[in-house]
Amino acid sequence: MRLHLSAKFRQVLGHAKDQASIGRAIVQNYNEKSFFDIEVAVVRATSHDDCPVGDKTMHEILFHVSNTPGAVPFLAEQISRRLAKTRDYLVAGKTLLLIHRLLRSSSRCIEQQLHIAHTSGHLQIGCCWFMMSQDHPSFAFLQNYVAYLEERVGWIINQAGKLEPVMSGGTKCSRYKEKSMDLVFHILPKCQEFIAKVLKCSPVDVWRMDNLVQAATGSILKESFQVYMTYSDGIAALSNMLFDLSRPARDLACGMLRKASQQIEDLRVMYEKCRGFTGMKSLDYPSVQAITMDHIVALEQCSSYNTRAGSVLKRTGGERGFSVSTNLRDSVTCNEKFASTSLFLLPVETKISMVWVVFDNEESDKPT
């Protein structure tokens, strides 16, 4: 009975705080009705009740922001202030959900401006009191959710509706078909950082899956599906170009593949766990293909052999002015060894040099 009265009292007190925030917004933005509407909508979307962020409120925020010049920095500041001042678990969680929904909104312009607002400091996601608190069982999830959103704001939805990272200078990378080394070596680390943040948000127990955590986890899972597809395409492209890389780049690539092996296994376990939660069974989970350490060891052995063979080729060619082909049998053995355990079930080609050996002019051997 005492707990029930305490919850009722907190609900009434929270409602009074929301009304006070709305009244303060009226006074501060008396001459700017659009800004007033945005601030009021933010308060309503992050109220002290356990109701989720409603679609009606989201549409209201997007409408006012889209039709008011300079509204995105103002919106970012209001969200940051709400997040920094509140000491309520529900308000903090709903504010983080609001940020996530704005990033997932259909307006690419708002999404890009939120990225700029985060870079300029108008949107401060990590200014939360619970980042150092362990009082509530779900605070650990909110802390990981903040870290995820800090990473997520560095990604953007492209015209095809897919997530891709925004690189330094605003360059976006997503075209693995070109198999550009620069693109692969820039985007794979970003994918690994993203997946690492996703894994941190993995739900621990069913009893901790309240409505707020479940809504956040559902959005995280949907975005992880897209990034995983980009991740797997990048790993396949990297493994195919492995034999064309220099030794330092090849060592870096093998390290990335080893990290991917563990991450993808953890991601598979997380997906299997989330399938058992109510409300997450109907999600379109991708088919996660494991990368075993045998695959990576085979790649390293084959690439190491190609490096040694290439160095022998250079030494022999420099002395006589011609090239000598490497041991064909060893190359075939290396290729066959890897063929049985190909990465992601994709063939990785091992190049075998078939170089003509040029002898002296035969006319010099004819009798004169």
Does a structural domain hold residue 312? no
The pLDDT value given to residue 289: 84
* 106 and 162 housed in the same domain: no
- For the chain, list the strands marked E by DSSP: 155-157, 163-165
Burial of 133 (0-12, 13-18, 19+ CB in 10 A): middle
Domain identity same for 216 and 90: no
Are residues 41 and 79 located together in one domain of the fold? Answer: yes
> For the chain, what is the domain count?
2
On whether residue 356 sits in a domain, the answer given is: no
Distance between CA atoms of residues 341 and 9, nearest Å: 63
Residue 137 is classified by DSSP as T
Q: For residue 45, give its domain range.
A: 8-153
What is the rounded average pLDDT of the residues 100-121?
Answer: 88
The answer to whether position 197 is within a domain reads yes
What's the mean per-residue pLDDT of the chain? 75
Which of 305, 326, 360 finishes a domain? 305
Same domain, 32 and 97: yes
Residue 60 sits in the same domain as residue 149: yes
Contact between 238 and 256 under an 8 Å Cβ cutoff? The reply is yes
Q: Write down the pLDDT at residue 324.
A: 32
Give the whole-number percent of the chain exceeding pLDDT 90. Answer: 24
Q: DSSP assignment, residue 359? A: -
Q: Which contacts of 306-315 are long-range, i.e. CB under 8 A and separated by 24 or more positions?
A: 306/243, 306/334, 306/350, 306/351, 307/247, 307/250, 309/353, 313/353
Same domain, 12 and 139: yes
Of 257, 290, 305, which residue constitutes the final position of a domain?
305
* 161 and 149 co-located in one domain: no
- Is 290 a member of any domain? yes
Q: Tell whether 59 is covered by a domain.
A: yes
Start-to-end CA span in the chain (Å): 120
Most confident of 32-46, 92-106, 173-187, 333-347: 92-106
Q: For residue range 344-356, what is the model confidence (pLDDT) as tens digits?
A: 544 444 444 444 4
53/44 Cα distance (integer angstroms): 9
**232/294 same-domain check:** yes
Flag whether 335 is in a domain. Answer: no
Which of 305, 337, 362 terminates a domain? The answer is 305
- Compare 305 and 247 and report the one with higher pLDDT: 247
* Arithmetic mean of pLDDT, 103-115: 85
Q: Are residues 195 and 294 in the same domain?
A: yes
pLDDT at 341 over 50: no
Please, are residues 291 and 344 in contact by the beta-carbon 8 Å criterion? yes
The CA distance from 65 to 61, in Å, is 6
Residues 17 and 148 in one domain: yes
Residue 367 to residues 75, 299, 362, 363, 364, Cα–Cα distance (Å): 95, 53, 11, 9, 8
Distance CA 346, CA 157 (A): 28
Same domain (yes/no): 120, 188: no
Cβ–Cβ under 8 Å, residues 38 and 70 = no
Q: Burial, 268: exposed, middle or buried (Cβ in 10 Å; 0-12, 13-18, 19+)?
A: middle
Does the residue 349 lie in any domain? no
Cβ atoms within 10 A of the Cβ of 329, count? Answer: 8
Q: Which CATH number goes with the domain that contains 260?
A: 1.20.58.150
Q: Are residues 145 and 238 both part of a single domain?
A: no
CA distance 353 to 327: 9
Most confidently predicted of 8-12, 155-159, 299-303: 155-159
Cα gap 224→4, rounded to integer Å: 38
Give the model's confidence band at 90: pLDDT under 50 very low, under 70 low, under 90 confident, else very high: confident
List, as one string, the DSSP characters of 154-198. TEEE-TTS-EEEB-GGG-B---GGG--HHHHHHHHHHHHHHHHHH
136-139-141 Cα angle (round to 5): 135
* 267 has a pLDDT exceeding 80: yes
User: How buried is residue 34: exposed, middle or buried, by Cβ count under 10 Å (0-12/13-18/19+)?
Assistant: middle
Q: Is residue 339 part of a domain?
A: no
Could you tell me which residues come within 8 angstroms of residue 32 by beta carbon, excluding any fewer than 6 positions away?
none
Render pLDDT for 119-178 as a digit per residue (tens, 0 to 9).
998 999 987 766 666 666 667 888 899 999 999 999 998 888 889 888 765 445 544 444
Q: Which residue has the higher pLDDT, 285 or 319?
A: 285
* CATH classification at residue 93: 1.25.40.90
